[in-house]
Structure 1
Amino acid sequence: MSLPSVPGLCFLLSLSGAEAQVAKGPCNRCPLHGSCVNSTHCTCNPGFISGSGKQFFTYPLEICKDIDECKPPISIYCGLNAECKNVEGSFHCRCIPGYALLSGDVQFNNSNENTCQNITSSKTPNGHPELQQIVNNFESLLTNQTFWGAGSKQEVASTASSILQNVESKVLETALRAPGQKIQKVQNSTVAVETRVVSDNCSEEREAFRLHTQMNSMVIHCIDVIQGRAQGPSAVAFVSYASLGNVLNATFFEKADEKDPLYLNSQVVSAAVAPRRNSSLSQSVTLTFQNLKMKPSSRKAFCVYWKITEAGGHWSRDGCFLTQVNQSHTVCNSTHLSSFAVLVAFTSQDEDPVLDIITCVGLGVSLLCLVLAALTFLLCRAIQNTSTSLHLQLSLCLLLAHLLFLTAIDRTQPKVLCAVIAGALHYLYLAAFTWMLLEGLFLFLTARNLTVVNYSSVNKLMKWLRFPVGYGAPAVIVAISAAARPHLYGTPARCWLRLDQGFIWGFLGPVCAIILVNLVFFLSVLWLLRKKLSSLNSEVSTIQNTRMLTLKATAQVLILGCTWCLGVLQVGPAGQVLAYLFTIINSLQGFFIFLVYCLLSQQVRKQYRKWFSDVTKSKSKSEIQTLSSRLGPDLKLSE
């Protein structure tokens, strides 16, 4: 056997040394609860996850944090009369108070090992069996299909509303009669209940309670449980109904449409507090539902509550907002307490393929027109002035906003990226409206100073004011909104502002204010021009040009600004028509700017003709030179 050559041996030694260094490096730097893989990477041990979410990593400052298997999206189910307890790196199941395993063990691993049985003990308060009896009494009623099938739809709704109210009342009364037992939790095959009693004031201002029944949970703030009571206990109850969704199905939705079928994708749950049955909250309650059907489309799911009416009741979306959807769970926020569920549409109610096509085509045309308009404002010297500079900045803001909307509005994952996209769109559209406000201010100052020969004061003011206001004011608004409620940037379906908690008014408020101020500016300009037209015969052309520019700017504000009002008014029977008007007009904003400020401008058309003539002459001259270079010798010979 021949030995390897010296260069080859050196190569092998260096390679093995490099491998030893690689193996030594990452494995010595694996974090706590982490281990080495293939001598090249680190990974977190079972029950832990890396801070970055990556399975394999080499970053030396990475950490491995515990996975809470008892909370969504995992939410281990331990079976009846048991609950999940998280421990570092793992979890276990334990019977709830008043129950114990037949084997005498304290804990078990999964629902298949659940043998939790009711025990009789002097330590168990009397309220616990009483609560179990209430649950058992309603079980037979809820599972009686003959009873529910005998009545009309209105009778079923009325009966269900009465049952929901009775369960809440009896459960809360039972909990308040045993204030010494702060937490009570019982369930059977149909109903699951957890109650919590608060005997004193909230220890912390932001203290919140988490109630868990079956695979559903609720987080409510302590201040909303006690409701300002200085004395006496208060209670909160969370109830899950396993079979009530078969009765109060999606046909009870107030806006049910046969063309767009719905189905209930969660159990029905109820949340209530006592002794004051106040349904309003100072802070939203968070509800987490286990999906009955896995992998629902996030764009098709929405949260509803049971609204009791004189006709019985129905599912309504008022005050309920979708927060998050994954393969196993749906998270909702609500501004009031009631009974809740999650509905899913087989085909999304909010999507229309025709609107999608109109949006894509319209935005494509707008992007092209905005590019042409920006180039015109930059290159056409005949129209370059302060007003044109304002048009240019407006065009650039709309160009970037439309481009980002077209390419990234649907990128809802990861959430941080979606929130950044929503914040960028918020900023760009606000900046566009701010530049429109500056246009109105410039026209007003110009009209007011028409009697002055030197307009330098207006131009100097605008040069000093435009960039700090045009780009600074929107940045301040977005910064305040992001600092106050960063979690409301990005929705499960779109990277835009959420509608809950009035957050959308962080955009619509400034827009409406700008539209109103600009309308006042433009009406004032028209009045000033009408007043000065009779006294300044030598400046008639200047006044008429200013008037025409004002009319164009007014139309611009109406078309670019009022379309957002159409977006807000998409309700009722005319909602579909307004949706089409909003989409068509809003997607063609760039085309409108190019049409008004470029194609309808005599100076710009003259410049376009000049450019076209220069290009034609240059092309003709180039062709003649090319032809003569090819046929030059022949031509000379013929001469």
Structure 2
Amino acid sequence: MGGRVFLVFLAFCVWLTLPGAETQDSRGCARWCPQDSSCVNATACRCNPGFSSFSEIITTPMETCDDINECATLSKVSCGKFSDCWNTEGSYDCVCSPGYEPVSGAKTFKNESENTCQDVDECQQNPRLCKSYGTCVNTLGSYTCQCLPGFKFIPEDPKVCTDVNECTSGQNPCHSSTHCLNNVGSYQCRCRPGWQPIPGSPNGPNNTVCEDVDECSSGQHQCDSSTVCFNTVGSYSCRCRPGWKPRHGIPNNQKDTVCEDMTFSTWTPPPGVHSQTLSRFFDKVQDLGRDYKPGLANNTIQSILQALDELLEVPGDLETLPRLQQHCVASHLLDGLEDVLRGLSKNLSNGLLNFSYPAGTELSLEVQKQVDRSVTLRQNQAVMQLDWNQAQKSGDPGPSVVGLVSIPGMGKLLAEAPLVLEPEKQMLLHETHQGLLQDGSPILLSDVISAFLSNNDTQNLSSPVTFTFSHRSVIPRQKVLCVFWEHGQNGCGHWATTGCSTIGTRDTSTICRCTHLSSFAVLMAHYDVQEEDPVLTVITYMGLSVSLLCLLLAALTFLLCKAIQNTSTSLHLQLSLCLFLAHLLFLVAIDQTGHKVLCTIIAGTLHYLYLATLTWMLLEALYLFLTARNLTVVNYSSINRFMKKLMFPVGYGVPAVTVAISAASRPHLYGTPSRCWLQPEKGFIWGFLGPVCAIFSVNLVLFLVTLWILKNRLSSLNSEVSTLRNTRMLAFKATAQLFILGCTWCLGILQVGPAARVMAYLFTIINSLQGVFIFLVYCLLSQQVREQYGKWSKGIRKLKTESEMHTLSSSAKADTSKPSTVN
């Protein structure tokens, strides 16, 4: 196998050095005349009638004969009214426009004098064109279907009419007190359940107006004696009397609600824990429960918090318990306190309450009727903000309650409590913070707070709750985490981060946002900082700076050098511009992580620019493949037309669609704590790596296929100089496409395992010098470009010489004009 490859390579090298030969027939007529042309003599060809070339006489096989579009020149072709011009190969035809037909019966004609087109009456030809509930109306060149009143066309077939549902389409004038009933071609307005027509108003016609039936005052309700009837619009509800609560399993605010006298919530010591201090606390709680009355809710709340404050100020024998039991006691206290305060607060009057105690325990509580606004509870060390609509349980007519308890003494029982991170966050943190949580347990940085609502279903809030913690200063090499206490099935628990995120942190304050309620705190975890490799940083900035200069020179060359402008240089220009903008934005803005929105925009823009760069690389490879495939048929014009239609929609459209999908699905994953780039969380980075792998794979396949085509070309080698030169250039560009514009990106994906550092250096060096490679391959190694550079250089030297001569001449004239003086 190796011998065959070597022989092919040797033959390829020999073929590249063969001289060209004459490409003309010994009989005196050129054999290389392009398609749609005729031979003039041994050295010239002329395009057939209906075709044109760049010059009237063709003297080189590189020129082609293109069809003349006679229809594009209206001054030369006039088909007349109601007709269209159709271009054909070498000629044209006039045909009647759709909806018209020729009286003469001829399908085509050549000019306006032969035009006999007239309108076709489709409705007369086929009376059943418009189906049920529709009528046909003839128009010039076509027809339309019109639906009867109360009907409309179906989207699938504009000829079929269907009934308009005035009730759901918003076209009915029914009064808001009525219910709309749709009929075929019409509708009715009827009173809703719990409503009746106002005196003198009929029930059913379009002008019906209804009024609410007051079931409570009229005695039409069926409320239990333990409830109070409340009339609602169109219905009524039965609510528990003050100091009462719904029986277990029966919802409140329903027509069948049954209530019972409200008692104090059961709160007993945790099983298996032996502590005299804790037992005395629960004895006080039980005494308060036995003497509880709904009117004493305010005093009962203060007494419970006073007892809890004293317990945590002097824990006594609780501090001698094992750490695990201390965590279990804290979990039991937090869970029970939340239930007791939620139940007691429902008997409070509307308003804002604030209680504070010597050991630092604080309670902020607000009771209101259902309102549509946000609420903010402030304490010395914590602030909570949420929407009122989160506080009220659906269907509960009682007051809305929002409470916040700050318990600094709970930190004694929660010392060294474990932290359990969700797998994705654990992976993300270890990518940016080496050694996180490896050396000991996290430290409790803030007070422990507990938040509760009258709605006890707070595991998945429709809008997040924001907490602002004040805490002691964060020392260096510490990671601040927003956490909540997750109760375990064994009665204990642990700190967790699911559903909570750190919005921002300063030296002595942290903002957290959570989608559920529980007990919260701010933890501080030690980590080792990942330091950047300074050598890679220097290589990156130096390489990108040089590449930017080369890309700018390459882009100016492709724009200004008229001799090389074609489809290929258009591809080179777009690739250079995209890569220039991407590298420039990378240099100046990749580290702008201070502003979240700005960093997100930068990350999204970099994502788009680098995807656009990769897409233009793919188009480069595709163009080389198509050009190599068409070497044997000399059909360059078809390739150029195909690429001109394809390259801009694909080159800029495909990256835009990819970035739009990524931004719409997970916009918050644009921007990392250290870089304005895509986050690896939830596989989001594959929005970039996926296209990289796909494009590199396609480029590799196109490269191999191109080499195979060139191998077959070698087998039919002749002495055509121009074809030889094209094939040699294609082979060189195909190799450059793979090793310069493709393989550099796969090195970035291979930065794993023991070879990661080596791959990182290779990726940084080669990729940062992409602009240099592009300028070298497509400009400096191009003979046409070098000749143009020479012309520009001579022009500049000539202008410089003329400028110097003009300056010397002006100086001489000035000297001769000065008067001489005699001493």
TM-score, structure 2 length as denominator?
Answer: 0.46
- Residue 487 and residue 551 in structure 1: after superposition, are their counterparts in 2 closer, same or farther (change >3 A)? closer
Q: How does 1:241-320 map to 2 (within 5 A)?
A: 241-249=407-415, 252-254=418-420, 257=437, 263-293=443-473, 300-309=479-488, 312-320=492-500
Residue deviations 1:424-453 (CA, integer Å, cap 9, x gap): 343134212122123224433653563364
- Which of 438, 443, 464 aligns to 2:621? It is 443
- CA contact 2:444–2:521 (8 Å) conserved in 1: yes
- Which of 725, 728, 735 aligns to 1:548? It is 735
**Bigger radius of gyration among the two:** 2
Which range moved further: 365-374 or 151-160? 365-374
Aligned to 1:133: 303
- Counterpart Cα distance in 2 of 1:320 and 1:585: 40
> In structure 2, the residue corresponding to 1:281 is in which secondary structure?
coil
Q: Does 1:388 align with 2:388?
A: no
Residue 530 to residue 585, structure 1, CA distance change in 2 (3 Å): closer
Q: Please, what is the CA RMSD of the aligned residues?
A: 5.2
| Cα distance change, pair 439–148 in 1 and its aligned pair in 2 (3 A) | farther
Contact kept in structure 1, 2:391 and 2:401, CA below 8 Å: yes
Following superposition of structure 1 onto structure 2, how do residues 121-520 of structure 1 map, counting pairs within 5 Å?
Answer: 126-176=296-346, 178=347, 180-181=349-350, 183-188=352-357, 189-197=359-367, 199-200=369-370, 203-204=371-372, 207-226=373-392, 228-229=394-395, 231=397, 235-249=401-415, 252-254=418-420, 257=437, 263-293=443-473, 300-309=479-488, 312-326=492-506, 328-344=508-524, 349=527, 351-355=529-533, 358-359=536-537, 361-372=539-550, 375=553, 385-405=569-589, 408-409=591-592, 412=594, 415=595, 419-420=597-598, 422-444=600-622, 446-447=624-625, 450-451=629-630, 453-456=634-637, 459=640, 494=674, 496=676, 505=684, 508=685, 510-511=687-688, 514-515=691-692, 518=695
Give 1:171's aligned amino acid.
L
Match of 1:279, SS state, is coil
Deviation digits for residues 606-631 of structure 1 (CA, Å, limit 9, x no counterpart): 98xx99xx9xxx9xxxxxxxxxxxxx
- Give the partner amino acid of 1:304: V
Count of matched residue pairs? 465
Asked if 2 retains the 8 angstrom alpha-carbon contact of 1:398 and 1:428, the reply is yes
How do residues 24-103 of structure 1 correspond to structure 2 at under 5 angstroms? none
Q: CA deviation at 1:297?
A: 7.2
**Which secondary structure state, in structure 2, belongs to the residue aligned with residue 341 of structure 1?**
strand
Residues 471 and 129 of structure 1: CA distance in aligned 2, closer, same or farther (over 3 Å): farther
Alignment-derived partner of residue 558 in structure 1: 746
Unaligned runs of 5+ in 2: 1-293, 421-434, 717-722, 795-823
Bigger relative contact order, structure 1 or 2 (CA pairs below 8 A, ≥6 apart): 1
Alignment CA distance shift 1:285-1:509 (3 Å):
farther
Deviation per CA, 1:361-395: give whole Å up to 9, x if none: 53444433454455456559899724432441243
- Structure 1 distance, partners of 2:466, 2:403, is 14
Distance 1:555 1:210, change over 3 A: same
Distance 1:475 1:543, change over 3 A: closer
Q: Indicate the SS of the match to 2:462.
A: strand
Distance 2:602 2:454 in 1: 44
Q: How far is 1:267 from its partner?
A: 1.4
Q: 1:130: Cα distance to partner? A: 1.9
Aligned-pair identity in percent equals 21
- CA contact 1:436–1:557 (8 Å) conserved in 2: no
The C-alpha deviation readout for 1:134-162, integer Å capped at 9, x for no partner, is: 22232233234444432333333333222
> 1:298–1:326: 8 Å Cα contact kept in structure 2?
no
* Alignment deviations for residues 306-351 of structure 1 (CA, whole Å, 9 cap, x no partner): 34446843333333322223455321112332322223457xx373
Q: Could you tell me which runs of 5 or more consecutive residues in structure 1 were left unpaired when the two chains were aligned.
A: 1-123, 619-639
Q: 1:387 to 1:532 in 2, by over 3 A?
A: same
Contact 2:309 2:409 in 1 (8 A): no
- Label 1:275 to 1:464 Cα distance change in 2 as closer, same or farther (>3 A): same
Aligned letter for 2:735? M
Farther off after superposition, 327-336 or 356-365: 356-365
Paired AA for residue 303 in structure 1: C
Tell me how far apart the structure 2 counterparts of residues 531 and 369 of structure 1 sit (CA, whole Å).
33
Contact persistence 2:407–2:448 (CA under 8 A): yes
